[in-house]
Amino acid sequence: MEAEYQAITGLHLLPRTSYLVELGKIGDRWALRVFRGKTEIGTTPLTTDLNQNEIFNAIQTNITWMPMFSPQDMFSTISRLVQEARSKTSGP
């Protein structure tokens, strides 16, 4: 039986797009979930522990075309997403 996805972070809007992303876990592994509006368009398990480059690549894998795409804005959003994930999973 496959483990279910459990969201850890809230949804974060990718700047200048209608896409949202969140981080969660499938079992013990991190995963990225991508939405367009309210519709989930993909869930990608990550092979490393919250590596921002891998998260960026997972976003690009799920989204085939983004107008007004800014890598700098994207990494800013990814950084906030990772900070939220780490703060919610670290012990007191």
Per-residue model confidence as pLDDT tens digits over 29-75? 999 999 999 999 999 999 999 999 999 999 998 987 777 778 899 99
Q: Residue holding tokens 């906030």?
A: 80
What sign does the CA torsion over 64, 7, 16, 79 have?
A: negative
Yes or no: say if 25 and 45 are a contact pair by the CB < 8 Å rule.
Answer: no
For residue 45, give the 3-state DSSP assignment. Answer: strand
What sign does the CA torsion over 37, 38, 44, 50 have?
A: positive
| 25 pLDDT tier (thresholds 50, 70, 90) | very high
pLDDT at 35: 96
| 91 pLDDT tier (thresholds 50, 70, 90) | low
- Which whole number is the average pLDDT over 11-29? 93
Element (H, E) at 5: strand 5-7
pLDDT at 64: 78
| 92 pLDDT tier (thresholds 50, 70, 90) | low
Yes or no: say if 21 and 77 are a contact pair by the CB < 8 Å rule.
Answer: yes
